A and B are shown apart, each in its own frame.
Chain A
């Protein structure tokens, strides 16, 4: 009893005494980004604490693969931190629906985010936004500039040119044309299918039509990307079937491969590993002059634990996350994680700058399987991993794969049962 009344007393003094006593408020941040620990400790936390005396931050990340499970048990036990880093879509939506996250729609700086940016952390009808978007990742291809000069090829704009470049590298023989493997499966789906796919299904248009049920996974625009990645196989390294994701990264950064189907999250790692100059090109369009579409995937956001005793301080912090200062600090410390806000953030990293410049030239979309469609069993995202790997290995035809995925989706998703 006494400890409880003490905490009430502390809470009361905190609220009443205001800034003078506010040193007491320490906000704990839950996150899966343990790679970012240094960034938080050296840049973000000092910057925030300097401008907001009285609030202290404590960044406590856990391992990515265990984050969801750890977070859920901490929330159930009431021991989770004040601020919760949000995974996109259903994982966070489930937390909000359980009453674990606070509705942040009214936050002042929420106006700095577009609807697409917020879509990953909203209820299906868009009425409540429960996390402040932080960053997205963009798909494309990273290439070895030295290798391109050596073999004398230009950056491809269209798919035909893309395959010509691959063919040249294959003839030349000194580089593996394409650094990718199918062992981990998700590379094939994320860096293959979801990378080039938006050009076929026309980004948001196709993605939303698929959710509504107006398009099916057996339609030409959803099957054709499988046929295209199937043509990549001859240009991938020997034994690509057993090549893992770290293998692909190492092959590229060691200078043994020419092109790496990438996500922008690779930039920081590649900058420190590779000793040659790198460039990036966007997913090639099918025919010259087509509108280009890129996958600009909403990846990370931050929300407020409903059980936190420090709601006001936490909201103050979340408002700061929506500010230009945070966006600039974050985007520059982590090149490749692009701010989702409308602030005009200047970036110093040329590769990151290249990636983000596509936002101006192309239409943005997010990965097709993430919103709503991966809610049931079989899980469309996981099925897409297997399908993409099978397409590249040629164990199944694109049409068979499309049918298999559509049947799986239709087995639980009403709009596809018509």
Chain B
């Protein structure tokens, strides 16, 4: 009897990914969690336990900033859920229609913004919406709706929604592609069997296709959730680190950036910044867990 040989090649093949991922993701993540438990006093790093979190949630100013950012983040997420994902599903349903011509062109055109840099998207939309050089006011006045125009990015009440919609414009291609792929995997036989039973047209979509793509919608929702609660770039590119006007577009990402790295005269505080990053991590973790254990396990799967 010979003991089975240790399969060295598995280790060798896994090593690059594990090493790189550990070095640039896992180690920084745990180090950030650790950093949140320290503070700096007299240029020495001292352990303070959960003191930073007590400041973050207990001090009225820190707490107000935090809840403001969290609330904005939820609004940002909500807009994506009610605008981006239904539109993505609709576009996918239209694209998968067998008689649509130029489907490839539409698919590409709608997906292209997704691969653009945030900086380009932020800057372009800022110009489009600019009251001075932008084409938005001119376009509206061309159809006689000039009165509807407002300097959206500069108004507290509209700025966040506007940016959320810009982000929707950029990323609507992702749910569209995922749903499109899911729709393509539905076998013709099922639809034909439905037709025999008298289910055609819209009701075929609601009664056959939608239940079959629900798992994909679940995945998209969780991707949207994680992406939105990690968002930072678009707000930073369009409104700067102060997330103006008057912090109305401040989300957790910009709040963390400002605290961690400092801004203008404000010196950076890596320890409070880490505390915020830890809170973000916790929120995302809880959200993902709710999805995985509460929803994912209850979704019914169909095997064809």
Asked if A and B bind, the verdict is yes
Stretch at the interface among B92-100, B105-113, B126-134: B126-134
The distance from the CB of A238 to the nearest CB of chain B, in whole angstroms, is: 6
The distance from the CB of A258 to the nearest CB of chain B, in whole angstroms, is: 16
Asked if B61 lies at the interface with its beta carbon under 8 angstroms from chain A, I say: yes
Asked if A389 lies at the interface with its beta carbon under 8 angstroms from chain B, I say: yes
The distance from the CB of B158 to the nearest CB of chain A, in whole angstroms, is: 10
Q: How many residues of A contact B (CB 8 A)?
A: 41
Q: Are A389 and B265 in contact (CB under 8 A)?
A: no
Interface string of A365-394 (1 = CB under 8 A from B): 000011000100111011001100110010
Interface string of B255-272 (1 = CB under 8 A from A): 000000111111111000
Q: Are B240 and A389 in contact (CB under 8 A)?
A: no
Q: Are B244 and A389 in contact (CB under 8 A)?
A: yes
Asked if B154 lies at the interface with its beta carbon under 8 angstroms from chain A, I say: yes
Interface string of A242-256 (1 = CB under 8 A from B): 111001001100000
B244: nearest chain-A partner, CB-CB = A185
The distance from the CB of A293 to the nearest CB of chain B, in whole angstroms, is: 22
- A90 and B265 in contact (CB under 8 A), knowing A239-B154, A386-B244? yes
Complexed CA–CA distance, A370 and B265 (Å): 8
Asked if A98 lies at the interface with its beta carbon under 8 angstroms from chain B, I say: yes
Q: Are B154 and A382 in contact (CB under 8 A)?
A: no
Asked if A68 lies at the interface with its beta carbon under 8 angstroms from chain B, I say: yes
Chain B residues whose C-beta falls within 8 Å of the C-beta of A183 in the assembled complex:
153-154, 244-245
Q: In chain A, residues 48-97, which have Cβ atoms closer than 8 Å to a Cβ of chain B?
A: 68-69, 89-91, 94, 97
- B132 CB contact (under 8 Å) in A68, A94, A243, A393: A243
Q: In chain A, residues 322-375, which have Cβ atoms closer than 8 Å to a Cβ of chain B?
A: 369-370, 374
Q: Are B61 and A378 in contact (CB under 8 A)?
A: yes
- A393 and B245 in contact (CB under 8 A), knowing A242-B131, A242-B153, A243-B131? yes
Q: Are B267 and A94 in contact (CB under 8 A)?
A: yes
Asked if A241 lies at the interface with its beta carbon under 8 angstroms from chain B, I say: yes
Asked if A295 lies at the interface with its beta carbon under 8 angstroms from chain B, I say: no
The distance from the CB of A406 to the nearest CB of chain B, in whole angstroms, is: 13
Q: In chain B, residues 125-151, which have Cβ atoms closer than 8 Å to a Cβ of chain A?
A: 126, 129-133, 137, 149-151
Q: Which of B149, B153, B245 has most chain A Cβ within 10 Å?
A: B245
Complexed CA–CA distance, A206 and B137 (Å): 44
A374: nearest chain-B partner, CB-CB = B265
- A238 and B267 in contact (CB under 8 A), knowing A183-B154, A395-B156, A395-B246? no
B266: nearest chain-A partner, CB-CB = A379
Chain B residues whose C-beta falls within 8 Å of the C-beta of A182 in the assembled complex:
154, 245
Complexed CA–CA distance, A121 and B79 (Å): 48
- A390 CB contact (under 8 Å) in B149, B150, B151, B246: B246
22 contacts between A and B (CB under 8 A): A69-B261, A90-B265, A90-B267, A185-B242, A237-B131, A238-B131, A239-B132, A239-B149, A239-B151, A241-B151, A243-B132, A243-B154, A244-B126, A377-B61, A377-B269, A379-B263, A386-B247, A389-B246, A390-B245, A395-B156, A408-B61, A411-B61
Contacts from B to A (Cβ < 8 Å): 43, 61-62, 126, 129-133, 137, 149-156, 240, 242, 244-247, 261-269
